[in-house]
Structure 1
Amino acid sequence: MNHKRFWVMAGIMLGAVLLSLCVGRYPLTLSDLWGILTGSDGGMGSRVFLQIRLPRTFLVLACGAALSISGLVYQNIFRNPLVSPDVLGVTGGASVGAAAAILAGASAAATAASAFGAGIFTVLVTVALAKAAGGQQKVTLLISGIVTGALAGALLMMLKYLADPSQQLPSIEYWLMGSFHTSDWKDVGAAAPVIAASLFCLWLMRWKLQLLVLGEEEAGSLGLPVGKVRLAGALLATLLAASVVSAAGAVSWIGLIVPHMIRRLFGDDLKRNFSLCAMGGGTFLLLADTLARSLTAAEIPVSILTSFAGALLLALALAGRSRKGELL
């Protein structure tokens, strides 16, 4: 049964990949793709495929998987299905870093690096604050994340207030809505290694993360170093979220809604859901990105579509649960 679910999800993801590669201002057919891959088509279609569509599709797929796994890990650590990857302040910190870089007139690469560094720094501050408050219990980490997130939000508002309203402010606002419109192989090379390494490490420790569901006392009685596992999982999940934010800006709802829906469909087993969640997140974001660059003449920021779809799915889930007399 698990293998069947895996291959069904893999088939859906493959369909989303092909759709992403074919749809756009310069449409490509499956026969065009075959000609490009076999070397018989070396014209404009080949350049569009190799230089624009393929790196963008690869990056979107990786970012969707990263956000959904980050959300899955956070929800498992905090035992809350409505926790998202920015719970420790990574998105807020990265937004401040990007806004500061835009105000300084930095290049796109420098802006991405600033966002990544600021996001990681914010989470380290959150962890340090939690230690100062008495440890890394999940409630302490959560409250520390709220504090650092609020501080990052205040800094972001100040930077937006100081920005030039005709040029810098629109750039900051557009970045905050998330987009893959400038994605190329350089972006893939910057984000993919961190995403791949973090996913691999989380995959290796997935059974330890699953034990956290039992609660701190019971997991500790089984010999699990609860504090170390929670901290390692949170930091790796943060690396995933920070990599995505630095590559594409703030992409909303993927890390919240995809793991929540996977859990509703297939149960609470993190070990079993790991690959399903990664493929589900990649598929969801690929479909949203394909629509974002196809619906209108001007590309729509992808977070508009992910937020709309995510809110709708969560509302449907809430309605289904309410009819059964259950809570989320």
Structure 2
Amino acid sequence: MNKRFWMLFLLWCASLLLSFCIGRYPLSVSDILAILSGNPPSEMASAVFFSIRLPRALLTAVSGGALALSGLAFQNVFLNPLVSPDVLGVTSGASVGAVFAILFLPAGALFVQTSAFLCGILVVVFCIWLAHFVRRDRVVGMILAGIVVGSLASAVLMLFKFLADPTHELPAIEYWLMGGFQNANWQQVIVVTAVTVPAGIVLYLLRFRVRLLSLGDDQTKSLGVSPGRVRLLTIACATLLVSAVVSVAGVVSWIGLLAPHIVRLMGPKDLNGQTGTVCLCGSILLLLADLCARSLSGVEIPVSIFTSLFGAAFLAVLLVRFGRMKKGGGLF
């Protein structure tokens, strides 16, 4: 493990501890240690920690790492550092599924989460099928198919908003689309972890084969690796990561795009051996954004407001930094 990893690991631990302590019912470090040792200062403190703070912090941490890893996977597959996890429309598809459940299925978080997860996967499957009609360049074909599917999903989403009851359903739709972890519970932690951990392990094992894709399909085949299978399996695992997170938290923007670039600025240009570091970075970003969302106001602020602010500020700093350089290459 390198210094970058351990530095981010310490920052991750600090972010997690802050998430445990800060909230409407503040807990001190000594309170948390007493709760973990079995001698809580009060039943209220123990209930707040185990029922609210701990599942929310863990779900946020896992979700941030999953989004960062999916962003890295999509950037490696499409050989473009500006690609986000929604390049194939997975977030748009999951949003359509969630809104469909809000409008037409019985009330309940389980229906919304299941519908969002399934629709996110189905949209990517349709996108991959559509890309097969572009035979000369499969990568370009998938990008074009992603644009088509994303536009179609946006149109369906606007239609659902038009049909929604403006008094009750439309506010619920808009709030869900802005993302948040206010409804986090242990069931969501278990489900999301059960999906993201195996998918993340597969992506980690594929990291060197994915790296070969940069050589071109012909060269990759000459080395005994099927580029089509590697690309398809990587996209499938990355889609599972994004769909699992979006199904429980709504749309959380920028983390998948931002985290890999922050790690690149810390030194390494090739991130295939930096999977753990990228995951930690995404987890830290989302933990801090969620901390701001629930502590800066008396009401819960959607988390995507803060992730978008972080992302915009980061890119603005990069533009100013590289704009002042007399020489040098591109932005990334």
Task: Tell me the TM-score normalized by structure 2.
Answer: 0.95
2:330 corresponds to 1:327: yes
* Contact residue 73 and residue 237 of structure 1 kept, 8 A: yes
Instruction: Letter of the 2:75 partner, please give it.
Output: Q
Aligned equivalent of 1:79:
79
Aligned equivalent of 1:15:
14
CA distance in 2: counterparts of 1:167 and 1:97, whole angstroms: 18
CA distance in 2: counterparts of 1:215 and 1:107, whole angstroms: 47
1:272-283 → structure 2 map (5 Å cutoff): 272-283=273-284
Aligned equivalent of 1:317:
318
Please state whether the residue corresponding to 2:154 is helix, strand or coil: helix
CA distance in 1: counterparts of 2:244 and 2:175, whole angstroms: 18
**How big is the shift at 1:224?**
1.9
Aligned equivalent of 1:51:
51
* Contact residue 13 and residue 279 of structure 1 kept, 8 A: yes
1:1-328 → structure 2 map (5 Å cutoff): 2-41=1-40, 43-104=43-104, 105-134=106-135, 137-324=138-325, 325=327, 326-328=329-331
Specify whether residues 135 and 118 from structure 1 end up closer, same or farther in structure 2 by C-alpha distance, changes over 3 A only. farther
Larger helix proportion of the pair: 1
* Contact residue 207 and residue 273 of structure 2 kept, 8 A: no
**How big is the shift at 1:133?**
3.1
**How big is the shift at 1:136?**
6.9
Q: Name structure 1 gaps, 5 residues minimum.
A: none
Specify whether residues 198 and 132 from structure 1 end up closer, same or farther in structure 2 by C-alpha distance, changes over 3 A only. same
Please state whether the residue corresponding to 2:253 is helix, strand or coil: coil
* Contact residue 252 and residue 304 of structure 2 kept, 8 A: yes
* Contact residue 175 and residue 249 of structure 1 kept, 8 A: yes
Q: Tell me the alpha carbon deviations over residues 118-176 of structure 1, each in whole angstroms, 9 at most, x when there is no partner.
A: 00000000011011332772111111111111100000000000000111001110011
Q: What is the percentage of aligned positions where both structures have the same residue?
A: 47
* Contact residue 263 and residue 273 of structure 1 kept, 8 A: no
Instruction: Letter of the 2:194 partner, please give it.
Output: P
Alpha-carbon RMSD across the aligned residues, in angstroms, is: 1.3
Moved more, 215-224 or 315-324: 215-224
Instruction: Letter of the 1:184 partner, please give it.
Output: N
Please state whether the residue corresponding to 1:132 is helix, strand or coil: coil
Moved over 3 A (4+): none
Q: Name structure 2 gaps, 5 residues minimum.
A: none
Aligned length: 327
Moved more, 315-324 or 279-288: 315-324
* Contact residue 207 and residue 270 of structure 1 kept, 8 A: no
Specify whether residues 198 and 136 from structure 1 end up closer, same or farther in structure 2 by C-alpha distance, changes over 3 A only. farther
CA distance in 2: counterparts of 1:225 and 1:135, whole angstroms: 16
